[in-house]
Amino acid sequence: MTSEHPAPSPPAGGDPAPGAGSTPPPDAPGHPRSRAVGRGLGTGARVTGRGLRGVGRGVGRAGSYTLSQAKRASRAQGAEQSGLSRLIELHAANAAGDAAVAISLATTIFFAGATSEARGQVALFLGLTMLPFAIVAPLIGPFLDRFSHGRRWAIGATFAMRGFLCWVLADAVASESNLLYPAALGVLVSSKAYGVTRAAAVPRLKPDDLTLVKANGRVSLAGVVGAAAFAPIAGLAAYAGSEWCLRYAFLVFVVGTILAIRLPAKVDSAAGEQSMSLREARPGGARRGTQVPRSVAFALRANCGPRWLSGFLTMFMAFLLRENPIAGWSPTVLIALVIGGAGAGNTLGILFASLLKKINPSVTVVLALLVDAAVVLVGALFYGVLALVLLGLTAGLAQSLAKVSLDSTIQSDVPTHVQASAFARSDTTLQLSWVVGGFVGIALPLNPQLGLGVACAVLAAWAVFVLGVRRGSPAPSAGAPFPA
């Protein structure tokens, strides 16, 4: 019988092909089903590739748009012409580098032992945080005052030093070298020295259309954006090891060194500086003392309250929520809510300072102190998740607005050639307040009503003292200094 479909002829000069005249098995490459699966996989891969490329383009456009908007905001209201935009970009790089260092050291030095069984180690950490300020105030501040004609190089030196120490610290972390703590201390000192020099440079670059409060707020906001934008990169680097996160910080600080040197030349200008000293001889040959304007002294005293509360809440809540979490809530989630609320409040404070048309610094610092005391009282009476979030949000907002107001008061009322010393000493005082609050938070029993009640009493008493001292101060004569 003749086949309806004759078998194909064998290839010329050879034997018939294996399996000729029979249907290939389903898993054979030539089977129709296999070809269909292959086409489907190819189509799916192409669709997935196009989708990923689309997502990549979308992310790229979003990132490019965000970057362009950030640059546009940094250059608005005359900031580009005055040179403030360059300082804003520099501060964003500083925040990105400091965030990378903090992420790396979080698991290697400071917070690895921050458990409820290690209060002594945390107290040691608090003491360590005071060392940079103890060095900055008596040594670096006066040095930077005398080095005012080279502020760009002084700022660049703080970046270069941190870059070098981050590279050393990366090797120390990888090898567990004894250089770990000295290098970490050097990074902290350099970071605080940058804060002093940067604050002293803002008045030189402030546009005429901006107040000092708004200029400080805009610079601080750039720091928040820089830390938020580049912290994820540092986090990815930390997955490979803390040393790689520090090497990433090294690259950021190298870029910051270049940006610092490219600051406008008027940062180094001495035009308008006064030849007066903060130290004034007293009648009768009495011992001379450091003098600051009364407005600065008042703003600094008022700032001590919110900063004390920040240190207290950091330590007290860290131990309280680990030992006695709220029923039905994880300690990690509760701590994240408090920290997130504080971060959101800090960001809101910077936004308000940079966007509001006018802020009265002397009124703002008092409101920050009084609102903190009121919210702590609410937290003690209605302790719960909502109260904790509100407490963190208010503490961050009050501290941020109070600090911006203090910086503006120093920049407007302290002679330019001694502003570095003024900033260094104010930062030392505020850090001391933070450390004292932290020690109190560690020492108190882990009872929320008791701890928050003590905090409310301390803030209320401090508010009475600050307002009472200001009311009892004699009226100043024009340009006369007052003791801090």
- Residue 314's closest CA among 111, 107, 103? 111
Q: Tell me if 202 sits within 8 A of 216, measured CB to CB.
A: yes
Q: Which residue has the higher pLDDT, 197 or 101?
A: 101
Q: For all residues of the chain together, what is the average pLDDT? A: 74
**H-only helix segments in 150-241:** 151-175, 180-205, 212-239
Burial per residue of 331-350, b for 16 or more beta-carbon CB atoms within 10 angstroms, e otherwise: beebbebbbebbbebbbebb
pLDDT at residue 271 is higher than 80: no
pLDDT at residue 316 is higher than 60: yes
What pLDDT does residue 113 have?
46
What pLDDT does residue 67 have?
54
For residues 101-108, give the mean pLDDT: 75
pLDDT at residue 37 is higher than 80: no
What pLDDT does residue 3 have?
44
What pLDDT does residue 341 have?
84
CA 296 to the chain's CA centroid: 24
Q: How many CA atoms lie within 13 A of 451 on its CB side?
A: 26
What pLDDT does residue 148 have?
60
Q: Tell me if 92 sits within 8 A of 225, measured CB to CB.
A: yes
Pairwise CA distance, residues 346 & 393, whole Å: 8
What pLDDT does residue 305 have?
93
**Highest averaged pLDDT of the listed ranges 245-259, 290-304, 418-432:** 245-259
pLDDT in tens, 200-255: 788 788 787 777 777 777 888 888 888 888 888 888 888 888 889 999 999 999 99
What pLDDT does residue 285 have?
44
Burial of 274 (0-12, 13-18, 19+ CB in 10 A): exposed
DSSP class of 399: H
Q: What angle do CA 453, 383, 330 make, to 5 degrees?
A: 125
**Highest averaged pLDDT of the listed ranges 145-149, 155-159, 478-482:** 155-159
Other CB atoms closer than 10 Å to residue 233's CB: what's the count? 15
pLDDT at residue 389 is higher than 80: yes
Q: How many CA atoms lie within 13 A of 471 on its CB side?
A: 6
Q: Which residues contact 119 (CB under 8 A, 6 or more apart)?
A: 319, 442
Burial per residue of 429-440, b for 16 or more beta-carbon CB atoms within 10 angstroms, e otherwise: bbbbbbbbbbbb
What pLDDT does residue 281 have?
41
**Which string of DSSP letters, residue by residue, matches 37-74?**
HHHHHHHHHHHHHHHHHHHHHHHHHHHHHHHHHHHHHH
Q: Is the pTM of this model over 0.85?
A: no
Reported confidence tier of residue 377, pLDDT bands at 50, 70, 90: very high
What is the percentage of the chain residues whose pLDDT exceeds 90? 18
Q: How distant, in Å, are the alpha carbons of 116, 439, 443 from that of 120?
A: 10, 10, 10
